[in-house]
Chain A
Amino acid sequence: VLKRAPLWLVVLASGAVIGATVRIEREVSGALIALLIFSSALVGLLQQTLP
């Protein structure tokens, strides 16, 4: 894990900041749904690389 610290740290920090923002806004569902919709599209796209 330590060898790749910068990448996972950036990912973790980004997630924490977004999560905290979503929480502060108290509109968990709206912001979270938007994130999950984007996430779904990304999964579908990444799956195109599967054999």
Chain B
Amino acid sequence: VIARPDVLRGSAGSWQARALLYTVAALSAAGLSGLVLGTLGRAIDPSTRAGAATLLAAVGLFVGLVRLAGARLAPLQCDRETPQSWLHQGLRLAAIKNGLALGNGATTRLGFWSWYLIPLSALLLGDPLAGAAIYGVYGLTRGVSAWIWIVMTVRAHRIGADPRDIPPRILGWGHVASYVSAAQLTAVATVVLVAVGF
């Protein structure tokens, strides 16, 4: 939606306003998700949380190493994009709904096992503020990414390039991203195992 020039020139307010709505919605959904998970986590006994963190870190370590070895375990996920039908409800509402869905992430395409670090950290730390910060930063990253796409699209128009070339270029980095994600999962799982588990 953001990369399409016709949408950029759409009539439902400026694209900047829609992008801002998207960013704020993503940040809000993520921050609230972290706050709720942190509050729920606080109700769980600390030793139970530490035990669960150790167990899950062991699973994360295994999954990360498997990927680094070249194999692939598809993550548990809904694996779906946000509905196109939202666009028919108005571009502003679509921007808000997209932001909420992608900011939380759970019902969308996750892509990487490392996504689970976010909700599980928020839950198992048992600290609502820390949960909101961890999840919120994720939402902010997803929200701010819209602006990066817009800037790239606008720049492509300025230099006479085809903005439709941008998505395939970014999608082409998927293979590298998969390894980076596996390395990240392996490293964080090891940190948790050493710091909390042993």
Contacts and interface: CB of A to CB of B under 8 A. Distances in A.
A49 B169 CA distance: 9
Contacts of A47: 105, 110-112, 115, 142
Contact of A19 (B127, B137, B194): B194
Contacts of B195: 19-20, 22-23, 28, 32
B135 A40 contact: yes
B138 interface: yes
Interface residues of B, number: 50
A43 to B, nearest CB: 5
B133 A37 contact: yes
Interface string B62-75: 00110011100000
Contact of A3 (B70, B137, B180): B70
A33 B190 contact: no
A45 B109 CA distance: 14
B98 interface: no
A18 B140 CA distance: 26
Interface residues of A, number: 35
Most B C-beta atoms less than 10 A away, residue of A20, A32, A49: A49
Interface in A1-51: 1, 3-4, 7-8, 11-12, 14-16, 18-20, 22-23, 28-29, 32-33, 35-37, 39-51
25 contacts: A4-B70, A8-B69, A11-B183, A15-B188, A15-B190, A19-B192, A19-B195, A28-B195, A29-B127, A32-B125, A32-B191, A33-B134, A37-B133, A37-B134, A39-B114, A44-B138, A44-B142, A45-B145, A46-B114, A48-B148, A49-B170, A49-B176, A51-B109, A51-B171, A51-B174
The 5 closest A-B pairs by CB, nearest first: A15-B190, A19-B194, A44-B141, A40-B138, A19-B191
Given A12-B187, A48-B170, A51-B171, 16 more contacts: A7-B68, A11-B68, A14-B190, A16-B191, A16-B194, A18-B191, A18-B194, A39-B114, A39-B188, A41-B138, A45-B141, A46-B112, A47-B110, A49-B173, A50-B109, A51-B174
Interface of B: 64-65, 68-70, 105, 109-112, 114-115, 117-118, 121, 125, 127, 130, 133-135, 137-142, 145, 148, 170-171, 173-174, 176-177, 180-181, 183-184, 186-196
